[in-house]
């Protein structure tokens, strides 16, 4: 069986967003980043803006976004940082944003997310809330911005997943826990697998339009994402700073080193190997084969399309 050689970069888990974007010039490029009011979303926006990109903070709370934007303009010296309301849990919000976007889009970073809701909640079209927010909302955003990405003449779609995908494949026969007892970690894992599959299928369908898509695990970073888990539980030696956590997102969004590469899963700024079982040791990289499976990716795209239409 033919195996594609894993992509290797000169960076590692200790590299920061500033490291990976050093000497990269994004002047004339336009980027959209969801969930850019906290955590690695803010740092991703800072790094891209510092490299000269026009950055749109696509956020649920524009008031908070304006405060972040003002700070980033001061820190980067880049005045081209704007704020738009995009709540990926609300399709009307997503559609309103994509309907008013004009011109090319060079970078889309699907960064927003929710994690391990303690009780079963339902969102878009009655679907389990983590699947609805982390996958369906971002899928709708990508579809709505496809023409803008194609117009860029070489665009990047970055899907921020997680090693949490190792806790569950996409369970097509029961996406929404209508038969199974609800499991917070399993639901989170399913949504994060879905985010990888989104990148895999987007790359297959859209690479001919010059759009390359990849997914990533940012690492263990203490952010608002863990608000339902009682905080980050990962031991200190395996944690990352915000700058280190944003490194892989920024690398996939902007580095010339990954030009022409797509449909893959990265962590620690390198492509992760496939694993046959969930690693039992912390810090061991790996992606589940089901998250990269072409048939799963195509099936999920069709399921998502049916839901949204």
Cα distance between residue 109 and residue 98, in whole Å: 14
CA 168: distance to chain centroid? 18
**Burial (Cβ within 10 Å: 0-12, 13-18, ≥19) of residue 285:** middle
Catalytic residue list contains 177: no
The first and second tokens of residue 117, run together, are: 């809701």
In the numeric block, the tokens 């690492």 are attached to 219
Cβ–Cβ < 8 Å for 3, 30: no
**Spatial CA neighbour of 172 closest among 307, 308, 309, 303:** 303
**Which position among 188, 238, 265, 290 bears the catalytic label?**
188
Cα distance between residue 44 and residue 211, in whole Å: 20
Strands 155-160 and 211-217: parallel
Q: Is residue 141 within a helix (H) or strand (E), and if so which, with residue range?
A: helix 138-144
CA dihedral for 284, 131, 253, 259, sign (positive or negative): positive
Catalytic residues: 188
């Amino acid at each position: 069986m033919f195996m594609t050689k894993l992509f290797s970069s000169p960076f590692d888990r200790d590299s920061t967003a500033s490291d990976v974007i050093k000497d990269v010039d994004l002047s004339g490029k336009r980027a959209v980043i969801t969930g850019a009011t906290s955590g690695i979303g803010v740092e991703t926006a800072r790094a891209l803006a510092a490299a000269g990109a026009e950055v749109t903070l696509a956020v649920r709370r524009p008031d908070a976004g304006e405060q972040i934007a003002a700070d980033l303009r001061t820190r980067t010296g880049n005045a081209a940082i704007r704020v738009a309301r995009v709540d990926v849990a609300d399709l009307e919000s997503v559609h309103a944003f994509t309907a008013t976007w004009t011109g090319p889009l060079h970078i889309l970073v699907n960064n927003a997310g929710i994690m391990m809701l303690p009780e079963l909640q339902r969102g878009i079209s009655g679907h389990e809330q983590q699947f609805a927010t982390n996958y369906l909302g971002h899928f709708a955003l990508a579809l709505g911005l496809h023409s803008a990405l194609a117009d860029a003449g070489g665009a990047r779609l970055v899907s921020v997943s997680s090693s949490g995908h190792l806790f569950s494949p996409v369970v097509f026969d029961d996406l929404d826990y209508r038969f199974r007892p609800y499991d917070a970690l399993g639901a989170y894992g399913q949504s994060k697998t879905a985010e990888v599959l989104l990148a895999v299928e987007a790359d297959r369908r859209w690479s001919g339009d010059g759009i390359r898509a990849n997914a990533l695990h940012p690492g263990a970073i203490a952010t608002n994402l863990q608000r339902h888990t009682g905080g980050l539980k990962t031991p200190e030696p395996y944690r990352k700073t915000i700058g280190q956590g944003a490194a892989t997102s920024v690398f996939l969004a902007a580095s010339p080193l990954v030009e022409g590469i797509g449909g893959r899963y990265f962590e620690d700024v390198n492509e992760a190997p496939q694993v046959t079982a969930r690693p039992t040791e912390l810090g061991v990289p790996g992606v589940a084969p089901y998250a990269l499976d072409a048939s799963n990716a195509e099936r999920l795209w069709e399921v998502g399309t049916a839901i949204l239409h």
